[in-house]
Structure 1
Amino acid sequence: MQRMGMMIGIKPDKIDEYKTLHAAVWPTVLNALHIANIKNFSIFLREPENLLFSYWEYVGNDFDADMRQLAQDPQTQQWWLFCDPCQVPLASRADGEHWATMKKVFHMD
């Protein structure tokens, strides 16, 4: 299992919309995440900085292949059409990233 953290900005005027979307995530999107071996997924909001922090656990064997499959899912693509306009990618993210990945520096069970 791989623990993963990511960050992205959120537009202040889109915070309520983003919260509403995530209060009722489409079951098809949740299923696509499950198929992509994503478990224990959470998103946190930090105001007034307007940052989103997400955490998930990846339990598969080929992260890149699972993420390609997830990105090809039509319902997930539709979901992103609603979520992406709310977000502000960090300037420091790596090439090809939307959410900026983070390195784990500590964990305690």
Structure 2
Amino acid sequence: MPAPRRVASVIRLRPEHAETYRMLHRAVPQPVLDTLSRAHVTNYSIFLREDTLFAYYEYTGEDYDADMAAIADDPQTRRWWTLTDPCQQPLDSARPGERWVTGEELFHLD
């Protein structure tokens, strides 16, 4: 089995929505979690420092683009995003339409 693909990304948290964002993530809907699992997303964590959200997950599938498209097409996940997206503000370096900006992996201790 190949090693998982490690993905890290960042986005800003709008300070006025910080408590809402925390509350939402205390009870992520099970259908959203199931969609992530079906798309081979594991070890998913989101961290907060000041107004920056840092996400990390591992991808264990074979077709990353197709699995990410399946997540984006899932109606429950799309509904979830209508709740979480207003809490977030993409970085200035984000391309048009891009929300979470993926980071470049510079180091990994295995």
TM-score bracket for the superposition, by shorter chain length: over 0.9
Matches within 5 A, 1:26-105: 26-47=29-50, 50-105=51-106
Query: Could you tell me whether the CA contact under 8 Å between 1:37 and 1:58 is conserved in 2?
Result: yes
Question: Does the residue aligned with 1:78 lie in a helix, a strand or coil?
Answer: helix
Given that residues 8 and 99 in structure 1 are in contact (C-alpha distance below 8 angstroms), is that contact kept between their aligned partners in structure 2? yes
Equivalent pair of 1:93/1:101 in contact (CA under 8 Å): no
Deviation at 1:97, TM superposition (A): 2.3
Consecutive unaligned residues of structure 1, counting only runs of 5 or more, are: none
> What amino acid is the match of 2:52?
L
Give me the TM-score of the superposition, normalised by structure 2. 0.94
Q: Which residue of 2 aligns with 1:20?
A: 23
RMSD: 0.9
Identity of aligned residues (%): 48
Q: Secondary structure at the match of 1:6?
A: strand
Q: 1:42·1:56 contact (CA, 8 Å) conserved in 2?
A: yes
Structure 2 unaligned blocks of 5 or more: none
Q: Deviations over 1:17-59 (max 9, x none)?
A: 0000001100000000001110000000011xx0000000000
